[in-house]
Structure 1
Amino acid sequence: MSEKKAIKVSVAGRIQGVGYRAFVQQKATKLGLKGYIRNSDGSEVEVIAEGAEDSLEELLELLESGPNRAEIEDVNWEWIEHTGDFIRFSINY
Structure 2
Amino acid sequence: MHRIVLAVLGIAILFCLLCGPAWYVALRLWRRGDLDAFRPLRAVWVTQAVLACVLLFGADSLTLANPAAWMVGIFLGVSLGGAGLFGGWRLLRRR
TM range (shorter): 0.3 to 0.5
Name the structure where strand makes up a greater proportion of residues. Answer: 1
TM-score, with structure 2 as normaliser: 0.36
Name the structure where helix makes up a greater proportion of residues. Answer: 2
TM-score, with structure 1 as normaliser: 0.37
Q: Which has the larger radius of gyration?
A: 2
